[in-house]
Amino acid sequence: MAEHVNRKILIVEDEEAILELLSEIFKEIGDYTVLQARDGEEALRVAWAARPDVILLDIQLPKRNGYEVCKLIKSDSVMSHTKVLLISGTPPNLVWPKAREMGADGYIAKPFSSIMLVEKVEELLTGS
């Protein structure tokens, strides 16, 4: 598990309650550095500056939506290895085709349990 230590996770969510919840979940595990962003542009700025290993990205965001952020990150030569996990309340069949097109690595539908979410993130990180 040593390699897992100090992985950076960027959580992008405009709803304060959900942002705090997600942050708490990953802080609780201990080996994640949690970064936060509340809109699409902030997400890009933080991602550029901090180079997170994984981004938890809500789709409905102010300024730039999740799809756009995902596309920009995945099309960037330096950032393209960053795992992007999209989160949305919209049913997967309406989201996943577009998400995949934008290069997202995974999609998790609300509501989710914290265990499920953490498992999904771990899976993404170790699978690479």
Distance of CA 105 to the CA centre of its chain: 10
Scored b (16 or more CB within 10 A) or e, 51-73 reads ebbbbbbbbebeebebbbbbbbb
Tokens 């099309």 belong to which residue? 75
Least distance between other proteins and beta carbon 12 (Å): 11
Stretch that binds other proteins, among 1-9, 20-28, 44-52, 96-104 (CB under 8 A): 20-28
Q: Would you state the structure tokens that stand for residue 15, as one six-digit string? A: 């709803």
Build a one-symbol-per-residue string for 55-84: x at contacts with other proteins by CB under 8 A, - elsewhere: -----xxxxxx-------------------
Asked if 110 interacts with other proteins (CB under 8 A), we say yes
Interface positions with other proteins (CB under 8 A): 14-15, 17-18, 20-22, 24-25, 28, 39-40, 60-65, 88-91, 94, 109-114
